[in-house]
Amino acid sequence: MDINVLDIKGQETGRKVTLNENIFGIEPNDHVLYLDVKQYLADQRQGTAKSKERSEHAGSTRKLGRQKGGGGARRGDINSPVLVGGGRVFGPKPRDYSFKLNKKVKVLARKSALAYKAQESAIVVVEDFNFDAPKTKDFIKIAKNLKVDGKKVLLVLPELEKNVYLSARNLEKAEVMTAAQLNSYKVLHADVMVVTENSLKVIDEILTK
């Protein structure tokens, strides 16, 4: 698949790049995409939720009523789970939600996500650029020139450009990351990917080695 390379003014440069068919042209695998996205979201969870069980509550252990004849459950002390303010049964405890995925599965998932974006014609290739200073209005101007303003934009750079990153940091629908950081969730979450020329080379090297 050939895509025209645009400049930051949104004009065609006269150059074209060919997307690697072994990445952007494969048949997407939905199951590995599900696993990769599930792992990414699981890694974002802190896992610090905690509730107190019966033994962890501060309160008297005096038996509140008779063992029999009360007409209700045989509750013991005031920390009983059946009472308001008592301990919780089977409540959450701190845990690690992360799990392992094989490298080949993760690579296939990223290829599948990129293939979906290629099928949707949601990839814009732009020549490499940088800002002299961080300016959000400059980033917004480029987005308008590329006709991607108002959409959830994922800008992929070959390496971290601090001024570009800072220029997009305050925009709710824009995200900047390097080609090495690319993951299935971010690709699928974006409406459109804006990829620089050299980023495509990095993506090829990472996903085809």
The enclosing domain of 109 has a CATH number of: 3.40.1370.10
Question: In which domain, by residue range, is 116 found?
Answer: 2-45+98-208
Each residue's pLDDT tens digit, 74-126: 888 899 998 888 999 999 999 999 999 999 999 999 999 999 999 999 999 99
pLDDT at 208: 86
SS3 155: strand
pLDDT attached to residue 1: 78
Is 35 in the same domain as 112?
Answer: yes
153 in the same domain as 68: no
Q: Do 106 and 198 fall into the same domain?
A: yes
Q: What are phi and psi of 165, to 5 degrees?
A: -60, -45
CA pair distance 54, 88, nearest whole angstrom: 7
Q: Exposed, middle or buried by CB within 10 Å (0-12, 13-18, 19+), for 105? A: middle
- Which parts of the chain sit beneath pLDDT 70? none
Q: Are residues 150 and 118 part of one domain?
A: yes
